[in-house]
Amino acid sequence: MDLNERIKEALKFDSFNTAEKIGKGLCKGDIDSIGLSLHIQNTKRINELMDLSGDTKFSEETESYKEKIEKFGFVEVYREPFTSQDKQETYYIHYHPEYGTLIDWDTFKGSRNGANMHYNILFLDNKVRSNFSSGHILGSGKILFDKDLNKIDVNKEFKPYPKISPNFKNYEKHLEESKLWYSEMMKWAKEKGYFYIWTGSHDARTGVGYILRILNTEHSKTIIRWQENPINLLYNHGDKNLSHTELKERSDRRFQALPKQLINLLSNKS
């Protein structure tokens, strides 16, 4: 098993679900103890794998995290000091110019606090979907792109998506028609060389290098010019007392403070 597979297996491991399976028939307290023990063992395994690959860990000192992501090619593009619990903290935004991925993260008492990676992915086949934490396919699969990122309207270029009848009558029939439409459309798209784009975000505390590797394979690649901005809010834990409106305004100001060329790439502007 190669390193990526070992990391994937460790990150997907569910300690407490496994405990329930192997501890069937035991009392809840014993099952919980088994689960906690498995969790501790698996956390140790993940940290060892991260150390082996020089990757980021769930618990990481600020300078260590910053040094590691910059080693992977991320460049600092924004820095904002803020105060939390009478301590001076820092909010960062880093960008990877080769992969078009952006990480926003903050500090807490000398350690990295939260971290999120944002991206657009050219979705070359459906094997890649299980790699993502959150996001969606642009146009719900009814919009595709060619290799030059020209938009293809599937309803016009292929054939219209089956309409659903009013009040969801004959819904079972609609599901069958939809399934057939997607199957035929995927074959057509492959012949034409058209692709999905996935826009989304990923928890970027553990395994930043690993995330970059699994998003850029023969099945997918991150793209420089985003077709949709997946960032909901750019925020840190110093913003916790803001109203949603205030938080949105502050997030927008942070985005607009990025280098102009970067804003154009992330906003798909020339």
Q: Taking Cα atoms as reference points, which of 206, 250, 260, 192 lies closest to residue 7? A: 206
The rounded distance, in Å, linking the Cα atoms of 179 and 131 is 23
Confirm if 202 and 187 have CB atoms less than 8 A apart.
Answer: no
**What residues in the chain have per-residue pLDDT under 50?**
none
Number of H helices, E strands in the chain: 9, 9
Give the pLDDT of residue 270. Answer: 66
Q: Taking Cα atoms as reference points, which of 188, 208, 189, 173 lies closest to residue 99? A: 208
- Kindly state the tokens that stand for 114: 């939260």
The rounded distance, in Å, linking the Cα atoms of 251 and 239 is 10
- Kindly state the tokens that stand for 184: 């035929």
- The single-letter DSSP state of residue 119 is E
The rounded distance, in Å, linking the Cα atoms of 218 and 241 is 44
Segment 169-183, tens digit of pLDDT: 777 888 888 889 888
Residue 66, Cβ neighbours under 10 Å: how many?
A: 20
pTM metric for this prediction: 0.88
In order of 43, 198, 210, 258, 266, the CA distances from 213 in angstroms are 21, 16, 5, 26, 21
